[in-house]
Amino acid sequence: MNRKEFLKTSAVASLAFGLPKFSGAAVKGNDKIKVAIVGCGARGTNALFNMYCADQNIELVAIGDAFACSVERCKKITEERIEKKFKGKFKDYWKVGDNVFIGLDSIDKVVKTDADVVILATPPVFRPAQIKICLDNNKNVFAEKPIAIDAVQLRQVYEQLIPLANAKKLSVVCGTQMRYQEAIKEAVQRVHDGDIGRVISAQFLRYEPMYLLGSSLKDKVPAHLKPEDAEFQLKNWLAFIWSSGGQYVEQYIHNLDMALWALEPAGLPDVVVGSGGRQLDLPFPAMGNRYSNYHADFEYANGIHLSTACRQEPKATPYAPFKIYGTEGTVELSFGKQIITGKKARVIPTPKRQALECEHEFLLNSIRNGKPVNTMKACADSCYIAVAGREACYSGKRFKCEFILKRSKQSLMPEKFELGMKLPIAPVPCPSTYKLV
């Protein structure tokens, strides 16, 4: 498949295919929702289990992946997890039958089944094109984050996919799950309500003690594959910029999304500058070409500074404070409890419900109730600022964030991508030679 095939478009107004089964008044609260999944690596397998935990009145009717081993492993792990959690009380959750599709084009076959909603958990470079395929075929979507990793994809999401989902009255929920964590929601609302006074600055760090490659759990890349092989890069997709967008876009988007949400009244950042690098003992190209650490500072039009940083470096100290500083106090967000200091100090305890389940509950409820939801705008905003941050780190340049949307022509999707081909590997970005395009 080539880039043109991935970016092929159609008019939003072309709704001749009709509405999906679960739309408007057609839905019944007790209907069993039929689910499909494309992308069965660790994240996809986890997302499927999270959806089962959120709602047991669903069944998997189709599954697709580039590799058969991923499908087999997904089924095995899911069966083990379902048995452990539900002790045999959850039946008929796997009704796939012959709807097992292998290959880069598996999504084209998955969307021809009777699935009501599709989980998309392939490497993010494929996300916008696959969202469009789902919407064109009247499927609701759970789209893992990020939903865009370059300027061309961002414009596709803003200009085409968001309006298309709205026009077709289809639900699209993106995997920025911290927006569904009740304690974080309360803490963010308190920031918006002025509980810490006027916001001055924020610092969001995410330091991890391991460098992620993308190789599936307990699945080693075959020894005969070399880094230039397309299959090698696809199996190690987290390590390559073209397939993942790099850690700052692929993983750190969770933290950046929380920051932008908390600072939402100030709009989006205006200017960015950044730096980063790569640990010297990470072999190139065997361990990809992305940075292992990033730091980007964003300045808002009203003077607020958002300092962001992330790293994935072996044996480094894990550390992840998310702090917002106001004139009358601070808020420290986390994946657990939330701590507010100052005149209105309080500790908001960790909720019992997992955000990873709540996001699926939100999606499935929207389908059952016939009230479509579309979270692509908020996720796209976070992807947009993440791309700006990454490009500032790689280029060493200070620039207005709007450059990404208004002028950049960057497209990371290869002109051609097929399993079995050789795919050239770009060098690790160097600020003295890296060009903003």
Question: With 60 as the cut, is the pLDDT of residue 143 above it?
Answer: yes
Rounded distance between C-alpha atoms, residue 31 and residue 57, angstroms: 8
The pLDDT value given to residue 31? 87
Over the stretch 279-322, which tens digit does the pLDDT of each residue have? 999 999 999 999 999 999 999 999 999 999 999 999 999 999 99
Rounded distance between C-alpha atoms, residue 331 and residue 279, angstroms: 32
Q: Is the peptide bond before 128 cis (omega within 30 degrees of 0)?
A: no
The pLDDT value given to residue 6? 45
Q: What is the mean pLDDT of residues 111-126?
A: 99
The pLDDT value given to residue 21? 52
The pLDDT value given to residue 418? 97
Q: How many CB atoms lie within 10 A of CB 159?
A: 12
The pLDDT value given to residue 219? 60
Over the chain, what is the mean pLDDT? 94
Question: With 50 as the cut, is the pLDDT of residue 180 above it?
Answer: yes
Question: With 90 as the cut, is the pLDDT of residue 397 above it?
Answer: yes
CB distance 267 to 236 below 8 Å: no
CB distance 142 to 119 below 8 Å: yes
The pLDDT value given to residue 1? 52
Over the stretch 314-340, which tens digit does the pLDDT of each residue have? 999 999 999 999 999 999 999 999 999
Over the stretch 218-254, which tens digit does the pLDDT of each residue have? 466 888 999 999 999 999 999 999 999 999 999 999 9
Q: What is the pTM of this model?
A: 0.94
Over the stretch 148-169, which tens digit does the pLDDT of each residue have? 999 999 999 999 999 999 999 9
Class of domain 3-178+357-375: alpha beta
Any residues with CB less than 8 A from the CB of 343 and at least 6 apart, and which? 195, 328, 329
The pLDDT value given to residue 223? 86
Class of domain 182-351+383-406: alpha beta
State the sign of the Cα–Cα–Cα–Cα dihedral 390, 391, 394, 398: negative
Domain boundaries, the chain: 3-178+357-375, 182-351+383-406
Q: What is the mean pLDDT of residues 132-138?
A: 99
Residue 26: burial class (beta carbons within 10 Å; 0-12, 13-18, 19+): exposed
